[in-house]
Structure 1
């Protein structure tokens, strides 16, 4: 974690990603505790108006292989 969010490094693909807000870090680290991504976003306290942006960010992390579907 960093003051702006976090750096995420994938040792397999050697890709570095930036989680640009502390809330996004909370969402990503909370994914395993929630039944779906939307629930993780809500639990992290992300304002409703920003939910779609956070879900889009998660989608990008999924496409890049940084996070995986369960």
Structure 2
């Protein structure tokens, strides 16, 4: 995992962020983790809030990927 980010996230949030880094869609992540797509969206919104990432969906994803690759 990404050390600086991992300290701020729960284990489930870390798993989701790893799947986001693989560029999976919310639906694909939900299927992989046996959760609803709505639950995944809630987790992702919490991740963005914890990491202070804002903007529209594309901007948030881009900022998250940039943050992950900067580690």
Q: Compute the TM-score of the two structures, normalised by the length of structure 2.
A: 0.46
Q: Compute the TM-score of the two structures, normalised by the length of structure 1.
A: 0.47
Q: Greater RCO between the two (CA within 8 Å, min separation 6)?
A: 2
Greater fraction helix: 2
Greater fraction strand: 1
